[in-house]
Amino acid sequence: MPSSFFTLVHSNNQARAGLIKTVHGEIETPIFMPVGTRGSVKTMTQTDLENIGAQIILGNTYHLYLRPGHELVAKMGGLHKFMAWDRPILTDSGGYQVFSLSEINKVSEEGVRFQSHIDGSYHLIGPEKSMEIQKALGSDIVMAFDECPALPASVERLRSSMELTLRWAQRCRLSSLHPHQHLFGIVQGGLHHDLRKECLERLQEMGFAGYALGGLSVGEKNEEMVEFCANFVPTMPASVPRYLMGVGTPLDILQGVKNGIDMFDCVLPTRNARNGQFLTRHGPLNIKNAKFLEDKLPPDPTCDCMVCQRYSRAYIRHLYNVGEYLAGQLITYHNLYFYLSLMRQIRLAILNNTFDDFFVNFYNDYSSNSWMDK
Amino acid sequence: MPSSFFTLVHSNNQARAGLIKTVHGEIETPIFMPVGTRGSVKTMTQTDLENIGAQIILGNTYHLYLRPGHELVAKMGGLHKFMAWDRPILTDSGGYQVFSLSEINKVSEEGVRFQSHIDGSYHLIGPEKSMEIQKALGSDIVMAFDECPALPASVERLRSSMELTLRWAQRCRLSSLHPHQHLFGIVQGGLHHDLRKECLERLQEMGFAGYALGGLSVGEKNEEMVEFCANFVPTMPASVPRYLMGVGTPLDILQGVKNGIDMFDCVLPTRNARNGQFLTRHGPLNIKNAKFLEDKLPPDPTCDCMVCQRYSRAYIRHLYNVGEYLAGQLITYHNLYFYLSLMRQIRLAILNNTFDDFFVNFYNDYSSNSWMDK
């Protein structure tokens, strides 16, 4: 299965350019996946997503299970048909959300019992249920149901959590999915290289179409994550995709690619957009800043997106200040365009064996934080 | 001035097809103007507006004066440049909003003193100030500052209000505007034909580029408005545009055109969209309705807009129910497309001398309320 699913096209040191094939189309890696939690990437139409070159989006199992319900989505022909998006979709397992969003949750061997954050109703999601939901959604890439302990955590806590995650992974592996679906295993183990290594090896014995790093960017220091990835990612199997879940800032992504990561997702570009933050090559630009009051320049004068080609900082600042919907729409559009354009540039640099130069130049540009200096 | 500004292209009984020429482009009438209160037609990008064929949009003087302030807009090159919209813009006078939105307001000969609904600060807008603001905004069509009494009102109250409106109209007429701006007078007088007639005649003596009917759709019965218009509109000058302010439903617009109205604006298609209501030829469709839970059909199967071509009722119902931004965006897009498409069909029918048939067919289709019967 993995050989036709993933092709490693080229490596430039640890950085990889690859190709993932799904029945809904190909994905050029490294890739960033916009987050469409409830069947919509917030404020973006599906046409917008196509126009900015989104190759795959992410749907959240926890949210879609609660509303509108996976059975309804299945009746409507699956998530692709339901949301009128015929490119690839990855769904997460719901594991992270049952801990972070639900009112009360209780972990047992069976799974996680939790109260809905919407209406307080009780639910249980375990490995079989997560697979049942993701099968109903019909996503192209399915994530195994895992436990994700908050960091810092004791090594005993991390080990017992990892053991549970492995038993759950096996149950996911034995569950039925559609033939077109590809199941990824999730490596846990905190920042402990040995635990992570053992977890990965035991997952590999079960055999997954790809491997994800879970439980990072959830409380540890950024340097700790970077250092861990630098040591660990190169030890992951080269023949299948490597996915760093929930990460991150442009620099986190650059760093991840440098260490050999192929796939990323994060709410940062969409969530920060709705808080007025443009993300650009030259650092974040906060449109709320009073200095943009009369600024006729585009948000990022070097950007060729629809937003930067048409609108001024002063206008978008006004929209944001008065609470117009269009502010969030325009900033989201730009931020996702920026992320996807960055991924395309990264891939080109890898193919040209110039990724290290690209890394240094981008790192310097981004860290210069130009908009703050003006 | 009026002859080059407005051309009456064709009449079909009282219904008129015309052409308005502005420095920002031509407007084919009858026309509906989407409302962009604070420099944005809510949830629509300017590209969306172009794509659905919006020929002119409306900006609100009261809102833009308070935020971001007309002086800022002027510094940015006027409202067209500020909001990156180079087609025509009409601005209202602020007269209606100072009464309907402000906390406290006091009318004097000078103008209206009011407290901002945003921060409670005190302001005065009178005819000169309204012209100053609209000049700064640089709109193509400028509305005279008027007093708009709520109906029902005594004939004495209506006469004194009309007299004040006429004195204010004269002061507007004497105020300076940009050469590209066209000033419209507003006819008041409630449902009294004689008062309205006198008001119109005295406005005509001052000379305006167009005449609007104000103070309708503000408390009277719909039949009263229709009957008043049927009698009054044909008496308005034929050589300049006739504008029925703040109206209305698709049937109101059809009725207005039948009586000789050329221009309309209303928040109904945009506001109702955000409340989950699709407006269609076959009546309104409330997407919240439980019967659409598993409905794979487009909102309006007979509509060729981007939304009806791609998305299902079930999907948009889900988006609306979970509070996704995209729900309001998609419904707004459809509703404005429907309104503008309706205006194009109306114009074609007038040019073909088939407006009366069009009126009857549309009236029957719309009144059938098909979506409620299913």
Length of chain A: 374
Domain count along chain B: 2
* Catalytic choice (A92, A146, A252, A262): A92
Same domain, residue pair B257 and B292 = no
Residue from A116, A326, A329, A334 to probe the interface with B (highest B Cβ count within 10 Å) = A326
Q: Can you give the pLDDT at residue A103?
A: 72
The predicted model gives B76-90 an average pLDDT of 98
CB contact under 8 A, B68 and A43: no
Which chain A residues are closer than 8 Å to B44 by Cβ?
326
**Hunting for tokens 């067919």 — which residue is that?**
B361
Same domain, residue pair A86 and A194 = yes
Q: Which of A46, A311, A312 sits opposite B310 (nearest CB)?
A: A46
Same domain, residue pair A306 and A169 = no
Which chain A residues are closer than 8 Å to B63 by Cβ?
322
What three-state secondary structure class fits B69?
Answer: coil
Checking ipTM against 0.95, whether it exceeds it is yes
| Residue A48 is among the residues annotated as catalytic for this protein | no
pLDDT at A2 over 70: no
The predicted model gives B81-103 an average pLDDT of 92
Give the CATH number, domain containing residue A195. 3.20.20.105
Which chain B residues are closer than 8 Å to A322 by Cβ?
38, 63, 67-68
- Least confident stretch, A79-83, A150-154, B213-217, B246-250: A150-154
pLDDT at A351 over 50: yes
What three-state secondary structure class fits A204?
Answer: helix
**Residue with the larger pLDDT of the pair A98 and A296:** A296
CB contact under 8 A, A76 and B325: no
Which chain B residues are closer than 8 Å to A321 by Cβ?
67-68
Q: Where are the alpha helices (DSSP H) in B15-90?
A: 46-51, 61-66, 70-75, 79-82
Give percent of chain A above pLDDT 90. 90
Percent helix, percent strand, percent coil in chain A, to nearest 5: 45, 20, 35
Same domain, residue pair B258 and B311 = no
pTM, two decimal places: 0.98
Q: Can you give the pLDDT at residue A101?
A: 83
Q: Kindly indicate the confidence band of residue B104, based on its pLDDT and cuts at 50, 70 and 90.
A: confident
CB contact under 8 A, A318 and B67: yes
Same domain, residue pair A219 and A300 = no
With beta carbons less than 8 A apart as the criterion, state whether A188 and A199 touch.
yes
- Reference B338, options B258, B281, B272; nearest CA is B281
Q: Can you give the pLDDT at residue B150?
A: 76
Same domain, residue pair B70 and B198 = yes
Q: Can you give the pLDDT at residue B1?
A: 44
pLDDT at B3 over 60: no
The C-alpha torsion from B278 through B281 and B283 to B285, rounded to 10°, is: -30
Same domain, residue pair A164 and A281 = no
Same domain, residue pair A122 and A259 = yes
Cα–Cα distance measured from residue A331 to residue A336, given in angstroms and rounded to the nearest whole number: 9
Same domain, residue pair B62 and B88 = yes
Instruction: Return the DSSP state at B324.
Output: -
Q: Kindly indicate the confidence band of residue A373, based on its pLDDT and cuts at 50, 70 and 90.
A: low
pLDDT tens readout for residues A258-274: 999 999 999 999 999 99
Same domain, residue pair A105 and A241 = yes
The predicted model gives B24-51 an average pLDDT of 98
The predicted model gives B227-253 an average pLDDT of 97
Cα–Cα distance measured from residue A79 to residue A59, given in angstroms and rounded to the nearest whole number: 9
Same domain, residue pair A326 and A213 = no
Q: Which of B266, B283, B312 is the last residue of a domain?
A: B266
- Least confident stretch, A257-261, B36-40, B119-123, B124-128: B119-123
CB contact under 8 A, A40 and B329: no
pLDDT at B303 over 60: yes
CA of B57, closest CA in chain A: separation in Å? 16
Which chain A residues are closer than 8 Å to B85 by Cβ?
none
From edge to edge, which strands make up the β-sheet containing A6-12? A6-12, A15-22, A25-29
Same domain, residue pair B331 and B256 = no
Contact residues, B window 39-78, toward A, CB-based 8 Å cutoff:
39-40, 42-47, 63, 67-68, 72, 75-77
CA of B34, closest CA in chain A: separation in Å? 15
For chain A, the C-alpha Rg in angstroms (whole number) is: 20
pLDDT at A20 over 50: yes
pLDDT tens readout for residues B348-357: 999 999 999 9
The predicted model gives A28-45 an average pLDDT of 98
Q: Can you give the pLDDT at residue B342?
A: 98
Contact residues, B window 330-359, toward A, CB-based 8 Å cutoff:
330
CB contact under 8 A, B67 and A38: no
Q: Which of A266, A294, A320 is the last residue of a domain?
A: A266
Which chain B residues are closer than 8 Å to A329 by Cβ?
43, 45, 325, 329
Q: CB pairs below 8 Å between A and B: how many?
A: 116
pLDDT at B19 over 70: yes
User: CA-CA distances (angstroms) from residue B178 to A97, A281, B59?
Assistant: 58, 41, 17
pLDDT tens readout for residues A304-350: 999 999 999 999 999 999 999 999 999 999 999 999 999 999 999 99
Residues linked to residue B22 through DSSP beta bridges, in sequence order: B25
Q: Which of A266, A292, A317 is the last residue of a domain?
A: A266
CB contact under 8 A, B325 and A325: yes
| Residue A92 is among the residues annotated as catalytic for this protein | yes
Domain boundaries, position B321 = 274-373
Q: Is A270 on the interface with B (CB under 8 A)?
A: no
